[in-house]
Amino acid sequence: MASTTITVSGMTCGHCVSSVKEEIGELPGVTDVRVDLQSGRVEVDSETPLTDVQLRGAVAEAGYEVVA
């Protein structure tokens, strides 16, 4: 089991959170996604480690950006 934490900018509401959770949740091997709207913190549990490219792509697909 792997755990990854990223920070996402631009989320302002519950719908934003749902979009990010849905896109990241569709990545292969993802078992859980927890999003804190106020801080933008996103914690992802997965069966194997996820790449930066995978996470950034999923967040971009949701319409947001990973903060470097």
Average pLDDT over residues 55-62: 98
The predicted model scores a pTM of: 0.94
| Domain ranges (residues) in the chain | 2-66
pLDDT recorded at residue 42 = 98
User: Which CATH number describes the domain made up of 2-66?
Assistant: 3.30.70.100
pLDDT recorded at residue 62 = 98
pLDDT digits (tens, 9 = 90+) for 8-50: 999 999 999 999 999 999 999 999 999 999 999 999 999 999 9
How much is the CA Rg of the chain, to the nearest whole Å?
Answer: 11
Q: What is the largest CA-CA distance in the chain?
A: 30
Residue 7 β-bridge partners: 41
pLDDT recorded at residue 32 = 98
